Structure 1
Amino acid sequence: MVEHTDGVPLRVVSYNIHSQRDDTAALAAVVRAAAPDVVIVQEGPRRFRWRQKTAALAESFGLVVAAGGLPSLGNVLLTSLRVRVTDTRCGRFPLTPGRHLRGVAYADCVVGRGARFTVAGSHLSTDPAERPGQAALLKRDLDAATLPVIAGADLNEGPDGPAWATVAAGLTDAALAMDRADRLTFSCANPSRRIDALFVDPRIRVVDYDVVDTPQTRRASDHFPVLVDLLLPADG
């Protein structure tokens, strides 16, 4: 990408890939066509041979693995070679008996002329009683980050929900920034909800936002990918 005089461009995709249970060739084609610098994956590899599967997923996208997998319970961060990863960490939310364990992946990165940022990816519970507590833990970590934050998540609720409000507080909802909150992300079979979001630090400028709805994306997963172009402060 060509760097701007007022910042460093970064293209980000946040994508629930449905555990690769759909058309994986279409999935790879969708991501490659987007040519992202960072992909925030929900429902990525998290079980047997997860390292090999995560590496294969990254290779199919033309990217490399930054963080995530089993330690973050299927949340995976992938980057292009343009992005340098300086630190990573993973977390898990407390387990509610009888429910699925959920987690989060983080990576501190540098791109371009020293633009530093923290990228986070998470997938909150389908249980409305469980989500607010998970959102509070995620938000605590986001607030503690010293670098400008980019957070992609499948929140499993819409913008009117309490967990969404918790995560969004003090951050920019990329869809709202571009006046495109009407772009629905789930499901591909019957688009009816915006439950996938990308939030960014106010120091980061949102240049463009889209939910990619094409015949390929409808074959690739049960969620549409969220595609966002950002402009990072060069002194991150």
Structure 2
Amino acid sequence: MSGSGVPLRVVSYNVHGQRDDTAALAEVVRATAPDVVVVQEGPRRFRWREKSAALAESFGLVVAAGGLPALGNLVLTDLRVRVTGARCRRFPLTPGRHLRGAAYADCVVGRSARFTVAGSHLSTDPAERPGQAELFRRDLAAAPYPVIAAADLNEEPGDPAWRTVAEGLTDTAVAADRADRLTYSCANPRRRIDALFVDPRISVVDYDVLDTPLTRRASDHFPLLVDLLIPAAG
């Protein structure tokens, strides 16, 4: 897909609660020079603000949205991106299961290229995922600007929750003809459960799943690296 607009580089990354090699994690992200990083499994407990800021700083970025109110989902940006609004969502709790949520940031890049970044991490429970996907999809549909939606969906293309979130959006892997790139797990890559979807008005320039010795040390998921063109307001 090609087009005109303002360039934006986005990384989506499940960082596995920073339980792996954090120096490798920081090196991986910094080397990509991203404008936006959407994090799953970020800080969500004691001193989460401080820990989220430290994670962002290790990437050379700042926190735009998320943290505990979004249950570990974070949107991080560089100083080229102006954040005009932020909000969080918690999905309804099923007793005895993990809390899940989503983070949203309304942004501007360049003079007038506006977009909404959304990040989420759906449940591992197949009974919970469809309802969470529907709530996430409703939020995406209500976003004020063209959306960039990054998520660990915990299921693969064609499955129910994946179809719900993807409805009306462009799967950046498919657009770049790289849907064969697997994202999980780093130890034994067998599944594509991490995705980045965009509004059709946003052009996909490039897409990659970063499978390197460094990314295999940094987390149990590979990061997605996507180059986009954001349409400028007329």
| Shared fold, TM over 0.5 | yes
Distance 2:165 2:202 in 1: 17
1:87 paired with 2:65, answer no
| Structure 2 residue identity aligned to 1:16 | N
**Aligned counterpart, 1:24:** 22
**1:22-101 equivalent positions in 2, closer than 5 A:** 22-101=20-99
SS in 2 for 1:54: helix
Distance 1:84 1:151 in 2: 18
Query: 1:234 Cα deviation (Å)?
Result: 1.0
| Structure 2 residue identity aligned to 1:180 | R
**Aligned counterpart, 1:137:** 135
**Aligned counterpart, 2:108:** 110
SS in 2 for 1:186: coil
Offset from partner CA, 1:144-183 (integer Å, 9 cap, x none): 1120000000000000210000000100000000110000
| Structure 1 residue identity aligned to 2:169 | L
Distance 1:176 1:212 in 2: 16
**Aligned counterpart, 1:158:** 156
1:8, 1:113 within 8 Å by CA — same for their partners in 2? no
SS in 2 for 1:159: coil
Query: 1:235 Cα deviation (Å)?
Result: 1.1
2:202, 2:229 within 8 Å by CA — same for their partners in 1? yes
Offset from partner CA, 1:196-230 (integer Å, 9 cap, x none): 00000000000000000000000000000000000
For normalisation by structure 2, the TM-score amounts to 0.98
The one of 110, 124, 127 equivalent to 1:126 is: 124
1:123, 1:153 within 8 Å by CA — same for their partners in 2? yes
Percent identity at matched positions? 82
Give structure 1 stretches of 5+ with no counterpart: none
Distance 2:30 2:175 in 1: 25
Distance 1:213 1:5 in 2: 28
> CA RMSD, aligned part only?
1.2
Query: 1:6 Cα deviation (Å)?
Result: 2.4
| Structure 2 residue identity aligned to 1:218 | R
Give the total of aligned pairs. 233
For normalisation by structure 1, the TM-score amounts to 0.97
SS in 2 for 1:71: helix
Distance 2:178 2:97 in 1: 33
